[in-house]
Amino acid sequence: DQQVKQNSPSLSVQEGRISILNCDYTNSMFDYFLWYKKYPAEGPTFLISISSIKDKNEDGRFTVFLNKSAKHLSLHIVPSQPGDSAVYFCAASESTGNQFYFGTGTSLTVIP
């Protein structure tokens, strides 16, 4: 049973525009969320996180929004750059443990 879902397997965006990647989860006990970025043949690298006490966290061009009532989070990238082209995974965990549950990933292509 997939507890974390990314329903869009791919997304294409023009350079300079906003990229919005979405993630939904089913477990209401999740209270810590992360986004990872993965290039081909490499391990995922941590991008940004948010805890359930917040509804927004911003780091440079990356902003993560959390809607707890909807069990939904999103990653906004503004402005999008060609180097942002990668697969993005969202992950969630309960604060009591370190196990993370990953979404299936969204492949972002930023078109120059």
- How many CB atoms lie under 10 A from the CB of residue 75? 23
Residues 66-85 touching another protein, rule: CB under 8 A, are: none
Q: How far is the CB of 112 from another protein (least distance, A)?
A: 25
Q: How far is the CB of 59 from another protein (least distance, A)?
A: 13
Distance in angstroms (rounded) separating the CA atoms of residues 89 and 20:
13
Nearer to another protein, 39 or 67 (CB): 39
Task: State the residue for tokens 């120059």.
Answer: 112
| Residues at the interface with another protein (CB under 8 A) | 2, 4, 9, 32, 34, 36, 41-46, 49, 51, 89, 93, 95, 98-105
